[in-house]
Structure 1
C-alpha cells in the first residue's frame, strides 16, 4: 500500500503525519520549528529527518512505501532569494521521496476547504490570506511585518489595540470602561505606566507574549465592554479586507466561492465571525464557511493531490480525526 507524508511546519513547531491511501493516520510526530531563520538551513534538514524517521520507527511503514509528501515550511517564499536554499535543505532530507514544498498558508487553505478552490485567512499571532481559483492560480494578501503595523486583525494586532485603549483611558483621552481595571488587575500594574515595564522591559515586546493579551479582549467582549466589542469589529474589518483583496485579484469562475479561516483569533466565535460575515456581504458570491479540516490534514490532501489521487468523502472523513 502507498502512504503519504504531510508536514505542517510553523514558527513554533513542526507536525509530521503519515496516512494510508484512505486518509487513515498511521503515525505522527511533533518536532521543533523548521523556520530557517530560527533553526538555520542545517536545522531544516535535521527537523525533516527527525520527524520522518520518528514516524517510520513508530510504525511498520518503510521509506520506499511513501508515495508523496507535502512539506509546509514556515518562511518559505517570504524572501524569494532564500527559497532555493530551503529547497536544497528539504531535498537533502528527502532525496528518495517525491515531494512538493510550500508555505504553511497552502496547507491551511487545503485543510479548511478540503482541497477545493476558495480563500482562507489565517489569524493567529499574525495574519495572512491565500486564495486558489479553479485553475490552480494563487494569490496572497497581508502578512507584512508587525513592526510597522502589519498583521492586521491578528491576535498581536488585537492586543496592541488593547494596550492603546488602556493608555488612552489612563491619561483621559478616552472615558474609562471595564477594560481599564481589567488590564491593571490581570497584569498586576501598581501604576499605569507599569504597562511599559511589563511589555517593553520584561517581555521585550515579544510578539507571542503580547499576542496572548488578546484573550483579555475576548473576556471583556463576553462582558459586553464596548471598547472590546469595537476592537473585534475593527479586527473583522481588517480580516474582511484580506478576503476581498484576494477575491478582486484572483479570477474565479464559480458564483459561489467558499471562504474559510484558521488560527486562534477565530476561537472568539461570534465576536469575530458575525461582523466578518457582515463585512463580506458586499460580495454575495463569497460564502463564509467553518473549516472542514485542520492545516495538518491539509498537508496530507496536498501530498495526495501531488500524487494525482482523487480526494473523496471517505478520505475527508478519515482526516477529520486529526
Structure 2
C-alpha cells in the first residue's frame, strides 16, 4: 500500500509518498496552498501539480495511491469554503481515497505519532491541536490580523514595532535595529515602511521571515527582542493549557506535549521559555521531541484513516530513513 501526505503551510506545501512498510518513495515541496492568501484557484493548482510531481518522482500514478491526507491551512475556518477545499484533489484522486482537514493535524500526527497528546505549532501562523481517547480539540489559529500569537508572523510584527521604537528614540537602539539595517539597506529608518507596505505589500510570509532576524538579535543579547520570545512562549503555553481542559485530561494524568513549525527550529530561546511557561501551569506536562516532520505525519495519518495504521516496525523505518 502507498500513502500520500500533504502538509500545507503559510509559506510552502510539502508532499511525501510512503509505503506501508515505512519506505519513503518520494518528496516534493512547492509554494504555499494557503488559499486565503493566494486564492482558491492558485491553491488548487499548487496541490494538483504537487501530487503529480511527487508521483512522477516515485514512478507511479495518482491511481496507485491507497489513501491520501491533505492538511490545508485555514481548512474549516470558513464554512462556506469547505466543500470547495474538499473538491480540490478530485481531478486526480477518487473521493473515497482521500480526506482534507486542517494542517494542524499534520503537526500533531507527526510530533506524537498519532498518539494522545497535544501539539503546538508555531510556524508562519500558530495553533494547538490535541486528541485524547477519541476526543479532538484545537486552540488558537484565528488568523494573523488578530490572533496567531507566538507565530513567526506575530514575532515579525513585534520586531517591526520594536524597530520603530528604537528608530525614533522611545527605546535605546540595540542589535535588532542594526540587523534590520544590515539585511534591508535603507536611506533612512522610515524606508522600512516602503519595504513592508509597498515592496512586500504586507505579505504574510515576508513579515514572518523577520522572526529569524529577531532570533539572531535575541541570541546575541538584545534584551527587548528576547522579551518578544518570552511573550511568544507564554502565549503558546496558554494554548496548550487550554486544550488540557478542553480535552478532559485528569488532574494527575501525564500529558505528552510536542511542537512543530519553523519558530522552534534551531531556536533554544523559544523552546526553553516554552518549557518554563508550561512548568508554571497546572498540567503534568512532558515535552517530547517531534518524532517526524509534518509531511510524514500527514502520510502516517493517511494510513490510519485507511484503517491500516503503520506497524511499529514501519514507524521505526520512517524514523531511520524518513525524518
Q: Given the two structures, how large is their TM-score scaled by the length of structure 2?
A: 0.88
- Please name the residue that 1:208 is paired with: 205
Q: 1:20 to 1:84 in 2, by over 3 A?
A: same
Q: Where does residue 9 of structure 2 map in the other structure?
A: 10
Aligned length: 319
Q: What corresponds to 1:90 in structure 2? A: 89
1:165 matched residue in structure 2: 162
Contact 2:22 2:314 in 1 (8 A): yes
Measured in 2, the distance between the counterparts of 1:186 and 1:57 equals 38
Alignment partner of 1:271 out of 269, 272, 282? 269
2:248 to 246, 251, 269: 251
Q: Which moved more, 1:306-315 or 1:238-247?
A: 306-315
CA contact (8 A) 2:14 2:30 kept: yes
**Contact conserved, 1:109 with 1:120, CA < 8 A, in 2?**
yes
How far the C-alpha of 1:296 sits from its partner, in A, is 0.6
Q: 2:259 aligns with which of 252, 258, 261?
A: 261
- Does structure 1 retain, via aligned residues, the 8 Å contact 2:300–2:309? no
Q: In the alignment, what sits opposite 2:175? A: 178
Indicate the residue corresponding to 1:294 in structure 2.
293
Which whole-Å deviations, capped at 9, do the CAs of 1:261-300 have from their partners, x for residues lacking one? 1111112432111111111012341112221111011011
Task: Give, in whole Å, the separation in 2 of the partners of 1:238 and 1:122.
Answer: 12
Residue in structure 1 matched with residue 311 of structure 2 by the alignment: 312
Structure 2 partner of 1:226: 223
1:255 CA drift (Å): 1.1
Q: Name the structure 2 match of 1:102.
A: 101
Please list every run of 5 or more consecutive structure 1 residues that lacks an aligned counterpart in the other structure: none
The TM-score with structure 1 as length reference comes to 0.89
Match of 1:121 in 2: 120
Instruction: Classify the secondary structure of the residue corresponding to 2:234.
Output: helix
Unaligned runs of 5+ in 2: none
Relative to structure 1, the CA distance from residue 48 to residue 202 in structure 2 (aligned partners, 3 Å threshold; closer, same or farther) is closer
Contact 1:123 1:263 in 2 (8 A): yes
Does the 8 A contact of 2:8 with 2:33 survive in 1?
yes
- In terms of mean alpha carbon deviation, does 30-39 or 118-127 score higher? 30-39
